[in-house]
Amino acid sequence: MFGGVIFRHHTEQIAPEFWKTAPIERHVVEYQYWFLSKDSHLLLSHRNQRFNSKYNAFTVHRAKFDPWFAKLAEDAGATIINRTTADNVIKENGKIVGVKTERGDIFGEVTIAADGVNSLLSKQAGLKEELPPDAVVLAVKEVIGLPKQKIEERFNLGPDEGVAAMLIGWGPGMHAGFMYTNRDTVSLGIAINLHVACRGRRDQGSKGQGNPIDTL
């Protein structure tokens, strides 16, 4: 799972030169860090022109990237079973040998619980305890449409160049956030500490005052 940025180093070990065929949005040439308060901000950035030739990372839309990535797995011999929920694990002699689904049992030499930080399968298998709310953040993302030329103008980018930003602070309970430039959209997300959300505390709006979010 990722919010919209994939890095070259690890991904190309699975799919060499994936950027030549993958549905990528932009290659990242600048990383920004926004330290936000209600009415001020500190912005740190690193731009590297070498990333125009020796790519470092890319922004993608998962709705486009995931099917492409799944096809690579199928071409390598994997079988993908969509719309199937793994309800529980299957154990034999104390070893997990598969999972139970509404379509029947599936067996394998290795079972990987890839159902997120709040993995229900891991809990059912007795491998993981319930996480306390103050140890978890809830992230939400909105994709905002902007013309390609407007994105490049506002972020001082060349054609197909992109920016990836990490947000810190701003708002009650806000743990972090992110901003990624895509080809003709901007992905903007925030992550709120779950114990704050459970108490019903929410930010008072979708915009701050005097911080970079306003410029979008």
Residue 171 banded pLDDT, cuts 50, 70, 90: low
Predicted TM-score (pTM) above 0.85: no
Q: What percentage of the chain reaches a pLDDT higher than 70?
A: 89
45-85, pLDDT tens digit by residue?
999 999 999 999 999 999 999 999 999 999 999 999 989 98
Query: Where exactly are the structural domains of the chain?
Result: 5-69+133-215
198-214, pLDDT tens digit by residue?
776 544 444 444 454 55
116-151, pLDDT tens digit by residue?
888 888 888 888 888 888 888 888 899 999 999 999
DSSP string, 135-200: G-EEEEEEEEE--HHHHHHHTT--TTEEEEEEEEE-STTEEEEEEEE-SSEEEEEEEEEHHHHHTT
Query: Using CA atoms, how far apart are residues 182 and 161, in angstroms rounded to an integer?
Result: 9
